[in-house]
Amino acid sequence: MPMERYRNLSGNSGVKGYEIGHDYVRIQFSGGSIYTYTNSSAGSHNIETMKRLAIGGQGLGTFINRNVRSRYSSKS
């Protein structure tokens, strides 16, 4: 599944794209790395918030840095 382009309404996010699944969010950062955050690794409440922020195009990078930074299940 291709990544959706993150709208980056603030203009200064390190998030480039995202993919939303039932129980995960996959985030591509501007450096090219892709991190997968799951309900198991980051908590379902955080995943639902990340989904909302990704679709909204603002606040996702800040939320990740403040709340789930290293709680990813995989990195590629």
Taking the domains of the chain in order of start, what are their residue ranges?
A: 4-75
pLDDT at 61 over 70: yes
The model's pTM is 0.95
pLDDT of residue 1: 64
The bridge status of strand 4-5 relative to strand 34-38 is unpaired
Neighbours of 53 (CB within 10 A): 20
**For residue range 9-25, what is the model confidence (pLDDT) as tens digits?**
999 999 999 999 999 99
Does residue 20 contact residue 6 with C-beta atoms inside 8 Å?
no
Which pLDDT band, with edges at 50, 70 and 90, does 36 fall under?
very high
Instruction: Indicate the residue type of 7.
Output: R
Six token digits for residue 67 = 């709340």
